[in-house]
Amino acid sequence: MTTAQTSPVLIGRTTELVALRQAWAGAAQGRAQTVSIGGDAGVGKSRLLTELRPDVIASGGLWVLGTTPAQAAVAQPFAPLISALRSLLRSVDQPRRVAVIGPARAELARLVPELGDSATGPAAFDQMTGSVGRLFELVLDVFHRLAATQPAALIFEDLHWADRSTLDLVDFLARNLGGDRLLLVVTYRTDELHRRHPLRPVLAELHRLAQVTSLLLPPLTRDEVGELLAVLTGAVVADEVVDRVCERSSGLAFLVEELAAAGLDLDGIPRGLQDLLQIRVDTLAPDVADVVRAVAVGAAACTVPDDLLMAVTPMPAADLARRVREAVSHGVLTTGESGIDFRHALLREVWRPTCSQASARGSTRPTQPRSLPTREPRTTRPSRRGSRSIGARPMTCRGPRWPRCRRDAPPAARMRSPRPPTTSCGCSIGGATSTTLRACSAMPGR
């Protein structure tokens, strides 16, 4: 059986694609629109966007794509704008280039040196007081001139990695494009937006505007995962395999593809994928990682009630809550009514201690996270699709649950259980009761 790397057909996303096409239709008629597409890493934001491209080209529009470099230590000022301007320059011939860039040439050359001689270099706009506002006006004028000759889709991908000035520019453009034949589309990862991420307030403001449409992509449903697997493998996939892939991938298309490419191995994690998942692990501070390890022992069997976590991590509740919050904002853990868990099953698998590690400790009741088995940080290796860190919302796939996972048991039932929850290795993780941690770790906006 040959497995395709990606599906030639878009699975699901009917409503979102209709909304995107409508936005383009409005923009092409001179009512500038903005669409934000959010969703977890690998859920299919770029793919949805790509489906619009043929429509734009067929209706005589220009596709202007600006990308943001992944996970740079310091975000390059205006990276998506620079990338978009280069995309624009590549797409139009010289006379039109001159006309569209017009009087902005000398100043835009500070960002895109190939536009002309620049003595000051690409970062100059960020350092010159007052010049950012002028740059915004110049950019707006460029897009006014472009749209006067041809409708265009202007895309800024992966804004979660963009610098603050780019976010301000997006806000400025969304408010000021007005009657232009322009569709502005921005994408961002929801699982990268920790509580103080600068994109959060920008999105909140944008979403109040009438000309802005917000699309939040949920994970693929269980049936959609089945459809995707069938297309990728070219065969009907057994129900139990679909269930397992759905549970492990949390309906994230990228993870479904990776698992399919690995031959639908029901238990192992493909090496490249494991490395990608490890990136998320490696970003945690050591004290936060300790708590995640403690959750890993319990979450091997089910969601860990927060009072059980308190029992096995002897530290002040506020300190534990802070660490849990950190792990949540890094997209590793998730908190809910039932307690604390990993954001998706594959992450849980990466963190899960092996039985030999657990029994080597010679204890069935760990009392400190530090005493739990540890994973050495590993050097990460790019997968076949390059750098991508993964995190996801809790599983929303519909259909039968994987039988080994008893997450559907009501929390209250677990709490009243005569025996405390055990790991898959048979280790008890504690049995105290308290609701302090839940109160401390309640997180707004996640």
Residues near Mg ion (CB under 5 A) are 45-46
Q: Is the dihedral of CA 7, 12, 14, 19 positive or negative?
A: negative
Task: Tell me how many degrees the CA angle 25-30-35 measures, rounded to the nearest 5.
Answer: 55
Q: Report which residue type is found at 43.
A: V
Nearer to ligand ATP, 11 or 100 (CB): 11
Q: In the set 31, 105, 175, 388, which binds ligand ATP (CB under 6 A)?
A: 388
β-strand partners of 186: 36, 156
Structure tokens at 444: 């707004």
* 254 touching ligand ATP, by CB under 6 A: yes
How many residues contact ligand ATP, by CB under 6 A?
A: 21
| Rounded Cα gap, residues 372 and 361, in angstroms | 8
Q: Select from Mg ion, ligand ATP, none the partner in contact with residue 388, using the beta carbon and a kind-dependent cut-off of 5 to 8 Å.
A: ligand ATP
| Measured distance CA(18)–CA(30) in Å, rounded | 19
Q: Which of 330, 332, 296, 295 is nearest to 310 (CA)?
A: 295
Q: Which residues are 185's β-sheet partners?
A: 35, 155
Query: What 8-state DSSP symbol labels residue 190?
Result: G
- From the list 409, 398, 272, 260, the residue with the least C-alpha distance to 341 is 409
Nearer residue to ligand ATP within complex by CB, 331 or 339: 331
Only one of the segments 45-53, 86-94, 233-241, 270-278 lies at the binding site for ligand ATP (rule: CB under 6 A); that segment is 45-53
CB 301 within 8 A of CB 422: yes
Q: Which residues pair with 334 in a beta bridge?
A: 341
- Window contacting ligand ATP (CB under 6 A); options: 5-13, 91-99, 102-110, 340-348: 5-13
CB of 424 to ligand ATP, least distance (A): 30
CA-closest candidate to residue 307, choices 338, 334, 348, 284: 338
Q: Counting beta carbons within 10 angstroms of the beta carbon of residue 102, is it exposed (0 to 12), middle (13 to 18) or buried (19 or more)?
A: middle
Q: How far apart are the first and last CA of the chain?
A: 41
Residue 392 makes contact with ligand ATP by CB under 6 A: no
Q: Of 39-47, 114-122, 144-152, 352-360, which segment contacts ligand ATP by CB under 6 A? A: 39-47
**Minimum CB distance to Mg ion smaller for 46 or for 380:** 46
Q: Which residue is nearest to ligand ATP (CB)?
A: 44
Q: Does 41 bind ligand ATP (CB under 6 A)?
A: yes
Positions 104 through 163 that interact with ligand ATP (CB under 6 A): 158
* Interface of this chain with ligand ATP, residues 196 to 225, rule: CB under 6 A: none
Alpha-carbon span 73 to 51, nearest angstrom: 32
Among 2-10, 25-33, 193-201, 361-369, the segment contacting ligand ATP (CB under 6 A): 2-10
Is the distance from CB of 33 to CB of 211 less than 8 angstroms?
A: yes
Work out what residue 380 binds among Mg ion, ligand ATP, none; the CB cut-off runs from 5 to 8 Å by kind.
Answer: none
Q: In whole angstroms, give the CA distance from residue 258 to residue 265.
A: 10
Nearest approach, Cβ of residue 313 and ligand ATP (Å)? 32
Q: How far is the CB of 69 from ligand ATP (least distance, A)?
A: 12
Angle (deg, nearest 10), helices 164-176 and 199-206: 10
Q: What share of the chain is helix, strand, coil (3-state, %, to 5)?
A: 50, 10, 40
Closest CB to ligand ATP among residues 215, 302: 215
Tell me how far, at minimum, the Cβ of 79 lies from ligand ATP, in Å. Answer: 15
Residue from 257, 275, 307, 341 touching ligand ATP (CB under 6 A): that is: 257
Q: Is 393 in the site for ligand ATP (CB under 6 A)?
A: no
Q: Which does 292 bind (CB under 5 to 8 A by kind): ligand ATP, Mg ion, none?
A: none
10 or 89: CB nearest ligand ATP: 10
- What six digits make up the tokens of 264? 């639908």
Residues 6+ apart with CB under 8 A from 364: 426, 427, 428
- CA 301 remoteness from chain centre: 26
The residue within the footprint of ligand ATP, chosen from 189, 244, 344, 348 (CB under 6 A), is 189
| Residue 229 near ligand ATP by CB under 6 A | no
How far is 312 from 306, CA to CA, in rounded Å?
A: 10
Map residues 47-66 to x or -, x wherever contact with ligand ATP holds by CB under 6 A. x-------------------
We find the least distance from the C-beta atom of residue 269 to ligand ATP, in angstroms, to be 17
Query: What x-and-dash track marks residues 263-302 binding ligand ATP by CB under 6 A?
Result: ----------------------------------------
Would you tell me which residues interact with ligand ATP (CB under 6 A)?
6-7, 10-13, 39, 41-47, 158, 189, 228, 253-254, 257, 388
